[in-house]
A and B are shown apart, each in its own frame.
Chain A
Amino acid sequence: MDNRTEKKREQKPLTGSFRADGKPLDIFEYEQAGGYEALRKAVKSMTPRDVQEEVKSSNLRGRGGAGFPTGQKWSFVPTGEGAPIPRYIAANADEMEPGTFKDRILMENSPHMLIEGMALAAYATGAEHAYIFLRGEYVTAARALEGALAQAYEKNYLGKNVLGSGFSLEMHLHLSAGRYMCGEETGLLNSLEGKRAMPRAKPPYPQVSGFMGKPTVVNNVETLCNVPHIIRNGAAWFKSLSLGQDGGTKIYGASGRVKRPGAWELPMGTTIREILEVHAGGMRDGYKFRGLIPGGASTEFLIEEHLDLAMDFDSLQPAGSRMGTGTMIILDDRTCPVGMQISLQSFFARESCGWCTPCREGLPWIVHTLNSIEDGKGEMEDMDLLLDQARLLAPGHTFCALAPGAAEPLMSGVKYFREDFERHIREKRCPWPME
């Protein structure tokens, strides 16, 4: 590794100020680490357009998985005279993508960073109301955020006339009641309105017609946490943190049979191999690597030959996968690839909202077929059936990305581990029986 990369690796704007004991930074500690300087700078000396432009040129892309350029997302919000009001900001803190735990770490350790990021997003888009849409299971994060919100109001970083600037912002923590669909941005908006979290047809996009039919920006927690650093240190600095085209650092994670499962803030574009072998410590003794899903349940499997690819938004595309949330799940040689697939597909089947037929009907059928194979009752034709079903889940057949997301690990899983599936069928049993 050259010196340049080594230097970049030392920069950890998101996690560098965390307390060693895992408690949340209070407002004084956060301010001491440079917190709220960006908000002060923005409301005192920048126009909302300036803030948007800075974020645009930083190449910050959405960290929820889709990688949409954040500044561009904001720019679709109608502003100026006659534009609809009120406008809203929602932080998507409904982290329920299996294998993903990065936003939880940010909120538990540095709740003010999210609040400041949301305040900047609100200032940039002229929003007066902000909601943190948090999954109910994140109890520790909820306590940290509640405390931080009270402190931020007290110091007038939130509320009326923020820091005497004339800009006002009300922020509220919404605790969800558990459903993966709430993480889909239009599902989230429906849930925030007190409805079932069904997806909405797009267009219109939320930036034009979102919460209560008003312009709304929905951003992921990690995305928003990057914004204060961009405004404080500049777009050029942010871009310089990365090893590739996308700006910034990324919180990567690894779970499964590795020596040190966890999450690490590293330069965007760090290779899969480095994350797996250096930071996660490689495979646990007695386990061999077989494959991984790079960024949450709804991304495609990758295998040994892909380990030197960079984890960023574009580099995994040639291998037919994508970075997703950047938190990888490892398949080892002692875990049955069919069983793992059953776990994945059962999740999607259970969490489907039932709105679109291929998702509602197809996913239980896929789970049923996989269970037959796992139980030694499968037939060779089932392999085609699985792939046919996966094709029916493709983008364009459903309102939202849940079904296409389910197809990603299914098609790639069959592609890379077909021999294991067929062995179940030939031997009429699972070759990985439970001990």
Chain B
Amino acid sequence: MLSEKELAEVEKELAHYEKRKAGCIGALKAVQKHRGWISDECLKDIAQYLEMTPDELDNVATFYSSIYRRPVGRHVIFICDSVSCYTVGYRELLRHLSERLQIKPGQTTSDGRFTLLPAACLGVCEKAPALMIDEDVHGNLEPPEKVDEILERYK
């Protein structure tokens, strides 16, 4: 069941589109904000509300990289692995993060604090290498140890 608050936010998203279906990406994002990810149960509820079949909505949900169909940690780290970052220390940053958090891209730390995911160019190439934690971009992470102090801010 979607909560009243969730429904209100979904409605706000739908208001900008003539057809309810067109607002489905916004609706998924709005609900995900509350729940962290989109479970099968949750997907069915949203689909029903938008008058779509669950498959139809899942078809959309699985296409987009910031809709999570599996549980994620309290904070999601998107590490940019595109070409500008690659040329200025992406690999060293990834190695450092993986060692420190003991996870590979696609995994979540055992304490549920961080999920590490690869990201397409974050559009901050002048500050490469870069990553994004939740809604914050952090750049110029060379040497990679610079990320240690940043991680401390996300509990």
Task: Judge: A and B partners, yes or no.
Answer: yes
* Inter-subunit contact B18/A212 (CB<8 Å): yes
* Inter-subunit contact A178/B87 (CB<8 Å): no
The residue that A329 contacts in the complex, of B17, B28, B125, with Cβ under 8 A, is: B125
Distance from A143 Cβ to chain B, minimum over Cβ atoms (Å): 10
Distance from A30 Cβ to chain B, minimum over Cβ atoms (Å): 23
**Total count of chain A residues near the partner, CB < 8 A:** 56
Q: Verify if B128 is at the interface (C-beta below 8 Å from A).
A: yes
Q: Verify if A340 is at the interface (C-beta below 8 Å from B).
A: yes
Q: Verify if A90 is at the interface (C-beta below 8 Å from B).
A: no
* Inter-subunit contact B120/A99 (CB<8 Å): no
Measured as residues with beta carbon below 8 angstroms from the partner, the interface class of chain B is: 35 or more
Contacts of A212 in B (CB 8 A): 18-19, 22
Q: Mark A355-383, 1 if CB is under 8 A from B, else 0.
A: 00000000000000000000000000000
* Inter-subunit contact B66/A95 (CB<8 Å): no
Distance from A27 Cβ to chain B, minimum over Cβ atoms (Å): 22
Contacts of B78 in A (CB 8 A): 137
Contacts of B123 in A (CB 8 A): 95-96, 100-101, 103-104, 135, 137-138
The residue that A179 contacts in the complex, of B59, B64, B81, B95, with Cβ under 8 A, is: B64
Known: A194-B24, A261-B125, A434-B92. A98 touches B135 (CB 8 A): no
**Count of inter-chain pairs, beta carbons less than 8 A:** 142
* Inter-subunit contact A98/B22 (CB<8 Å): no
A297 to B120, CA, bound (A): 11
* Inter-subunit contact A335/B16 (CB<8 Å): no
Residues of A within 8 A of B (CB): 95-101, 103-104, 135-139, 172, 174-180, 191-197, 212, 253, 255-257, 261-263, 293, 297, 327, 329-332, 335, 339-340, 343-344, 346-347, 350-351, 353, 434-435
Q: Could you pull out 18 A-B pairs where Cβ atoms are within 8 angstroms?
A: A97-B121, A99-B125, A100-B123, A101-B126, A137-B119, A139-B137, A174-B16, A177-B25, A178-B119, A179-B63, A194-B21, A197-B63, A256-B88, A297-B83, A340-B83, A343-B81, A347-B82, A434-B91
With A177-B65, A261-B126 known, 15 other A-B pairs at CB within 8 A are: A100-B123, A135-B123, A137-B78, A177-B28, A177-B66, A177-B67, A196-B59, A197-B63, A255-B88, A297-B82, A329-B84, A335-B87, A339-B86, A347-B83, A435-B92
